[in-house]
Structure formats: structure tokens, C-alpha cells
Structure 1
Amino acid sequence: MCCAMQGLQSRAVGLLALALVAGPATAADFEVKEITIPELKAVFGQIESRTVVPARARIGGTVTEILVDEGREVRDGEVIARVVDDKIALELSAAEARIRALESQLDNASTELERAQQLLGRGVTTQSRVDQAQTTFDVITNQIAAAIADRSVIEQRSREGDVLAPATGRVLSVPVTQGSVVLPGEPIARIATGRYFLRLSLPERHAAAIVEGDEVMIGRRGLAANQSGRLAAATPGRIVKVYPEIADGRVIADVDVADIGDYFVGERTLVSIPIGRRRVLAVPAAAVVTRHGVDYVALRAEKGIAEVAVILGERFEGEDGPMVEILTGLEAGDRIILP
């Protein structure tokens, strides 16, 4: 009642204090009527990545080199660190020595086999001796093949000391330092892959009002709300998922943004999200003129045109362009003059 009386008083003062301008209007008229607009709530959302995958060490050993740091963009398969196990070099040397020893035995077995075959051709020896020499030659040959395979396994283990990026993305953290001792499977870096999205955490009283597909406005980095509570400049986004579980009195929703910018994962930004709808009186923003800190609109009256002092509310984008809410000074059905 108090607000209604103040509105009537402001309307009366505006009509009485300002002189009427006689004559027909040359600009278009706009009929003031109630419209329904979404009621927005300013909340903070947190930037998240679709997936965060760890780059793990494939062997145990000492981290001898780290090639990336936090915030670095990496490609799939890129070497981001190196882990060295000193025992691998010793095992490789032992494998090489074993192969050389077997190769010497193979030369001797080959010589014995040739000699046995020559003696058999002369009729000096028996077939069993030739078969025995052939068996010895084949066994040593297979032992060399097995030793070469063992050496290949050791060489592969040494190559697995290179820690590779599992996917293309941005490095979030590197929890180890050069000289650290790691075990197989221990994470060397965490990499954010895929597109970023915005995660909202809202009080559960708004759970019923949050609907998938609703549009929200995301502020730029460091952007604050203006006097009307709306974001002065923002990027539109859309709610793509509302989680069905409420935890600690909060409902979680995910917002997809086409061009979210260069935010950091975990960074917070201001978001305007619809939590309901209300009916208001609104006029085009171009119809409002401000003089000496007071807002006026030109109202068509019976005897001409009068300027009426109004109190403005929220600004928003309507079907007719930028609109502004009128709290007091006008009534539904009034006709105002547009410039």
C-alpha cells in the first residue's frame, strides 16, 4: 500500500509539476502493459573440465627430467617427463653379455656340426653323433633368439621411462619434482581434456525452478553485476544437466557455453540464472530521459503530452529491443511517446 501511494504521489507530482505540451505527437505511441520476465539470481559458477586424466609413470625409478609445467598445452603422445631406473642399464648389459656368450657357443656348435658331417661322409663317425651336434646347434640358436627377445623387453622398459601425455589438453598440476622417486602407475601430471563447462551449486529451494534448456548469462572474467543486478556484458549459456541428487542442501547443474574463453579450471565467475518468472510494467529503454538525476517518460495525456517522473527497475532484452522495468509512475494502459 505504501509503495502504491508513493507511486500515485510520484505520478501526480510528475503530472502537476511539468507543463503540458499542447498539440499532436509526431512520434510513435507505446502502450504500457504487463509482461512476464524471468527472475534472475546472481550466483557463482566454477569452471570444470569434461575429463581430467593423469599421465602416469609406466616404470618405477627416478624422475630425471620434467618437460612441462602447470598451464602448458600438450598434445596426445607428447613426452612430458622422463623416469630412469638404473637397474635397467645393468640388466641390458647382462643381456648383451649373455647374447655374446651364446653366439660364441653357436660358433663352436656350428664348427662341431660341420666336422661331424664331414666325418660322416668319410664313414668315420656315426649318424648319432651328427644328430647330437645338430641338436646342440639348434638349442643354442633358440637360446640366442630367447636372449634377444629378453633384451628387447629390457629395451622396451627403458623406452617406457618416457612419460607420455594420454590426451591433448592443458596441464593442471605436476605433483612431482625432478629427482623424485616414483613407482609404476604413479601420476606425474594431471591433464584437463575436452571442452570446459560451468558447474553451478544452488540452494535446494531453487531446485524446482531449474530446468534443462534454460538460458543463463555468464560474466567475463572479473565482471561484476551492474546496479540493476544484471551482468553488464556477458556470454549466453544453456543448462544441459540438472543432477537429481541434492547434497548438503545444494543442487548441482552444468552449463554449456559455446565460447567460454581462457578461464582456468576451478576459476569462479558470476552467473545470472533464472529461478522463476514475474509480471512487470516495462517500456522501451529509449523512451526514458534522465535530467538532473531524475528519469522521465513522455506520456500522452488528454490535453497533450506530459513528462512523468518514473522510478526504474531492472533492464532486460525484450521483443521490442532493450526494455526497462517501471516500478512507479505509470499504469497499465498508459500510452507513452517514443522518440
Structure 2
Amino acid sequence: MQLLPRRLAPAFRLIAVAGALGTAAIPAQAAEFLVRPIEVPELKAVFAEVESRTVVPARARIGGTVREVKVSEGSQVKEGDEIALVVDDKLALSLNAANARIQELKSQLANAATELDRAQQLLARGVASQSRVDTARTQYDVAANQVAAAEADRAVVVERAREGAVLAPAGGRVLTVPVTPGSVVLAGDEIARIASGQYYLRLSLPERHAADIKEGGTVRIGARGLSPEKAGGIAAARSGRIVKVYPEITAGRVMADVDVEGLGDYFVNERTLVWIEIGRRSVLAVPLDAVTTRHGIDLVRVAAAGGTIAVPVVLGERLEVDGAPRVVVLTGLVDGDTVLAP
């Protein structure tokens, strides 16, 4: 007996499986499905980085020494919260000097008030002239204005001391705190950086995909994690939307931003796995319940003259078409085949 070449053996085994199953009558409850090509998105798995819409610095308003830092990296703050305290020792000396000056001027004001009262009494008795009363009143007004000016100067010193409190310019998460208690800072120096905006994903794709990504396109975001095992599959991924495609290509990469909900607990610059549509391809897909597995071989029953034939197929990924689950058939079927399913 002549033996078959080894390269032909797998094909003859598939024919033997189909021949062993033979043809069968169409079940009464069987439904016919006409195999036609459908367009499905071509997805590319890439890593995206979590970014914040805005990152604002909290700056010192006066120069001095950092007395206290009330936040650390990762702290949540609200707008107006005190995050650090800067103290300038010279302000305390200026405040003491302002208080002493006010006390001096108040003594002069009291003396001017006494002189004015005495001049008015003497004028009433006819002893003093009106010019003396006018002079005393002028001295009193000058002393009162000097007290008011000194109190305003003291208010300036007090306000500068109050500005030593570094306040959060916006609510959000503290990213960095580059100072420690005891650090010497100048007015305008950065005390902390706060991520105050909504989080989004930043994509970096090769230049060859620049023409395939559009604003408004759908992106599928996996679970948190870098490995495919942690990120899960495409079927379990959530959806995001491309909101901006940057017009400049840098180092052979095109940048795009993706809006997605539920990134509040992510780290800024954390990477996560996403799938982005870079094109569309034509595939053949059949209903999931039309596929049966026997002895490790996937079979699809195809209508033929006089009955059905069980055709071995190679399956691809699963997808949904009009809300119905289907599976892609890589080999075994052609356009126009009629598949029978329960």
C-alpha cells in the first residue's frame, strides 16, 4: 500500500473527520445564517500615560524661612487650604517698631487735645485769642493724622506677616513638595505642585498611524496594570473618546489625548494598556452558538445539497454585531456559505 506524504496528512485527517460525521438532515429548529464579510475595527495595543489637565504651583508670597509644612506628596487639598508657613523674623521687629511709633504719636495726640481744650477755655474767658485756638486745633489734627498713618503702616506689616501662610491656589492632589522646614525661600518660590485638573490619557503612536486616528474616535481602556493579564481583554475594556490630536509629530510619534472617567485614583504619569482603532478590516463571523467542538476540533454545520456538512474551522476573536455575540472564522468558510445554528 502506498503511503501518503507527511505534508498531506493533516488535510486528509480533516476530510476523514467530515466524512465520519457525514451528512445529516436539517433539524427542524435549525436557523440559516448567510455568511457575509463585515467590517471590524483594527485595534492596536499601546500604553497611555495618565496626565492632569492643569498642574498649578503653590508659591511663597514673602521671603523668609519655612517654619512648617502641612502637606506631603499625595495629599488632597482644597482651594485656600494652608499648606505651609513662611516666617520672616524682620517682620516681628518691624511690628514692634510700628507699635512703639503708634504709642508715641498717641501721647502727642493726647497732649495736643489738652492744649486745644485749654485754649478754648481761655478764649471763653476772653484771655486768649482766636489764633491760639486755631493753632492748637491744627496741632491736634496733625497728631491725629500721624496716628492714623502709623496704624496703617502697622496694618501693612501685619498683612505681610499673614501672607507667610502659603495657600493652595486650587483643589487637587499634591504632586511634589520641594521644601522642608528650615528651608530659606524668596517671594515667588515654589512650595508645592498641585494637580488640580481632571485626569486624562496621553497617547503616543508611531507616525504611520497619524492619518488613522481622528478626534471623536473610540479607545478601549483596560483595567489598571501594565501586563495584559492585569489589564484584561478587549471585551472587558471600558470606552474612552479621543478629544484632541496634536498637529505636530515629534521624534516620529504623534500625540493624542483621550477623555475617560474613573482615573481619579491613578498616579500622574502612570501607564496603562489601551487599544486604539487604527483602521478597519473585513472578516467572516458566525453566531457563537453555531460552533460546536468535538475531539478538540471546532466544527460549523454548512448547508449542502441533500443535507449538511460539518466543516472544521479555525476561530479568531469574539465580537458583537448589532448586540449579538459572534466569533470570527479565520479559515474554513467562504463568502456566501449558509451556516446552520440552533
TM-score relative to the length of structure 2: 0.90
String of CA shifts for 1:298-338, please: whole Å, max 9, x gaps: 33333433332211223222225222221111111112222
String of CA shifts for 1:277-301, please: whole Å, max 9, x gaps: 1111111233333445432223333
Q: 1:291 to 1:178 in 2, by over 3 A?
A: farther
Residue of structure 2 in register with 1:309 after alignment: 312
String of CA shifts for 1:63-121, please: whole Å, max 9, x gaps: 11111112222111111111111111111111111111111111111111111222222
Deviation at 1:16, TM superposition (A): 3.0
Residue of structure 1 in register with 2:239 after alignment: 236
Classify the secondary structure of the residue corresponding to 1:231.
Answer: coil
Deviation at 1:230, TM superposition (A): 5.1
Deviation at 1:52, TM superposition (A): 0.8
Residue of structure 2 in register with 1:277 after alignment: 280
Residue of structure 2 in register with 1:36 after alignment: 39
Residue of structure 2 in register with 1:138 after alignment: 141
Residue of structure 1 in register with 2:165 after alignment: 162
Q: 1:104 to 1:291 in 2, by over 3 A?
A: farther
Residue of structure 1 in register with 2:122 after alignment: 119
Structure 2: distance between partners of 1:6 and 1:51:
64
Residue of structure 1 in register with 2:152 after alignment: 149
Classify the secondary structure of the residue corresponding to 1:233.
Answer: coil
Deviation at 1:266, TM superposition (A): 0.8
Deviates more, 1:114-123 or 1:243-252: 114-123
Whether 1:15 and 2:18 are equivalent positions in the alignment is: yes
Structure 1: distance between partners of 2:265 and 2:197:
14
Q: 1:87 to 1:291 in 2, by over 3 A?
A: farther
Classify the secondary structure of the residue corresponding to 2:158.
Answer: helix
String of CA shifts for 1:204-240, please: whole Å, max 9, x gaps: 11111111111110111016447xx953521100111
Q: 1:211 to 1:122 in 2, by over 3 A?
A: same
Whether 1:247 and 2:250 are equivalent positions in the alignment is: yes
Q: 1:134 to 1:292 in 2, by over 3 A?
A: farther
Q: Which residue of 76, 83, 95 maps to 1:92?
A: 95
Aligned positions, number: 333
Residue of structure 2 in register with 1:27 after alignment: 30
Q: What 5-or-longer segments of structure 1 have no aligned partner?
A: none
Q: 1:196 to 1:328 in 2, by over 3 A?
A: same
Contact 1:11–1:329 (CA under 8 A) maintained in structure 2: no
Classify the secondary structure of the residue corresponding to 1:90.
Answer: helix
Contact 2:51–2:202 (CA under 8 A) maintained in structure 1: yes
Amino acid at match of 2:171: T
Structure 1: distance between partners of 2:60 and 2:13:
74
Q: Which residue of 86, 97, 104 maps to 1:83?
A: 86
Classify the secondary structure of the residue corresponding to 1:269.
Answer: strand
Structure 2: distance between partners of 1:164 and 1:240:
33
Classify the secondary structure of the residue corresponding to 1:205.
Answer: helix
Residue of structure 2 in register with 1:72 after alignment: 75
Residue of structure 2 in register with 1:333 after alignment: 336
Amino acid at match of 1:200: L
Amino acid at match of 1:214: G
Q: 1:98 to 1:320 in 2, by over 3 A?
A: closer
Q: What 5-or-longer segments of structure 2 have no aligned partner?
A: 1-7
Structure 2: distance between partners of 1:19 and 1:171:
70
Q: 1:286 to 1:173 in 2, by over 3 A?
A: farther
Q: 1:122 to 1:243 in 2, by over 3 A?
A: same
Identity %: 62
Classify the secondary structure of the residue corresponding to 2:282.
Answer: strand
Amino acid at match of 1:304: G
Residue of structure 1 in register with 2:110 after alignment: 107
Classify the secondary structure of the residue corresponding to 1:46.
Answer: strand
Structure 2: distance between partners of 1:265 and 1:87:
40
Deviates more, 1:33-42 or 1:125-134: 125-134
